[in-house]
Amino acid sequence: MKSKISKILITVGLLICVGSLSIKGYSKYLENKSTKSFEEKIDKNAKESKEDDFTNVKAGDEIAIINIPSIKLNTVVVESIEKQYLNHYVCHFENTAMPGEYGNFSLAGHSSYRYNEVFNELHKINLDDEIIIKTLNNEFTYVVKDIFEVNPEDTFVLDQDNEIKELTIVTCTNKGKDRLIVKAEIVEDKNNK
């Protein structure tokens, strides 16, 4: 009898592990597929130099690639922080600035093993590290100016200041109890006007 129960418990444990790994693998597959697809669109548009048009962006649309060389992150950014997108991608908070625009271009992503772990290494980022945002037609470089933690209710980090072009990244820390915030400002040069 004990042998049967042991076998059942081992089987259930293995099924849970396989199920968890399958979910993680599927999430990573979706992320990689979307990143590659958007990078191909960027390459296709490279010949055309024009302004980005975000007027018809819908929830789930790919809007950019975020590249943080210091933590070896390169992944797609999609519109909307709805759960169905946030579980798989870096997401753009609707009604915040778009890449390269005046205001606060605000992003969120998971840093847990339960969902997509895209920002698992974000805690290793340093002041003055570069964050590169590639859209279909432009590339914007931001430099990290502040790193801090807040409570989940502290939404002031998303406030818009239309005098500057800034980037805010929000992710969980402390097992989801707090939020790690990374603030960056755009580097103004001939490509980032």
List domains and CATH numbers for the chain.
Answer: 2-48+59-186 (2.40.260.10)
Residues of the chain with pLDDT under 70: 1-2, 6-49, 112-116, 189-193
Phi-psi region of 34 (alpha: psi -120 to 50; beta: other; left: phi over 0): alpha
pLDDT in tens, 32-48: 666 666 666 666 666 56
Sequence-distant (≥ 6) Cβ neighbours of residue 118 within 8 angstroms = 31, 73, 75, 89, 90, 109, 110, 111
Give residue 99's pLDDT.
95
Give residue 95's pLDDT.
92
- The answer, as to whether pTM is greater than 0.85, is no
Query: Angle at the Cα of 30 (from 29 to 32), degrees rounded to 5?
Result: 65
Task: Decide: 107 and 170 in contact? Cβ < 8 Å.
Answer: yes
